[in-house]
Amino acid sequence: MPTATLEGILEQADQVVVLDMVQRSIALGLDAAPPHEPIVDYHTPALRRPCASIVTLRQNGQVIGYAGTIEPKAALISDVCHNAYEAAKHAAQRSFDRESLTVEVCLVREVACVNAHSLDEVCNQLKAGEHGVLLHHSNGAATLTPDKWNETPEPYDFMRQLCDKAGVACDEWPSDLHATLYRIEALPPVEVLLMDSERPNKPR
């Protein structure tokens, strides 16, 4: 079971940089401006390492924008900026008060490909309340993040919901169907400040 591990939460200084860059990316996405591409080499080793992320925009607790990746394919700082921009583009399709936004950033860690050939085998390896699951097959992919356990606390129900989302018959478990387990670490949610003058750092 190959894994990719992110050891612990980011140091405070790196968290500040990430959340600042995320807010800048959100501002650009809401205004349909070109995205900001961070200069990866300017950042600390922790922000340069490959890491996937999930960014959620909320207004009064309701999700209005969401974007994420599960498998680490880019530097952490690049991935969170990309997902923040995409979440903002998603949010911009609706009407809302831009002065009451919060953003949540989750870092994906302990990504593990599961050697399983049935629903039972996946469920036996799941830790309820901790694991998110990505299903991928020849026609697409779908995921349920760990917070979905609050709505579906039983492993079999959780996986059946995910199979429905992925458009596959989980009882048959097609030969091209693969499961990936992961955990997330959440940074503190923050209010979105859209004006440059409200944020102390300069983009890099």
CATH: 3.40.50.740, 3.40.50.2300, 3.30.700.20, 3.40.50.720. Which one for 3-108+185-198? 3.30.700.20
Residue 118, phi then psi, degrees to nearest 5: -160, 165
Which part of the chain is CATH 3.30.1490.150?
110-183
Q: Tell me where in the chain the CATH 3.30.700.20 domain(s) lie.
A: 3-108+185-198
* CATH superfamily assigned to domain 110-183: Hypothetical protein ph0010; domain 2 (3.30.1490.150)
**Residues 6+ positions from 203 with CB-CB distance below 8 Å:** 21, 24, 36, 38
For residue 95, give every residue at least 6 positions away whose Cβ sits within 8 Å of its Cβ, in sequence order, or none.
none
Q: Which of 169, 167, 161 is nearest to 132 (CA)?
A: 161
Could you report the per-residue pLDDT of 164-187, keeping only the tens digit for each? 999 988 888 888 889 999 999 999
Q: Which of the four pLDDT bands, split at 50, 70 and 90, describes residue 3?
A: very low
Determine the pLDDT at residue 201.
Answer: 54
Count CB-CB contacts under 10 A for residue 19: 23
pTM equals 0.83
Model confidence at 78: pLDDT above 90: yes
DSSP secondary-structure letter at 197?
A: G
Distance between CA atoms of 22 and 42, rounded to whole angstroms?
Answer: 16
Q: Is the pLDDT of residue 163 over 70?
A: yes
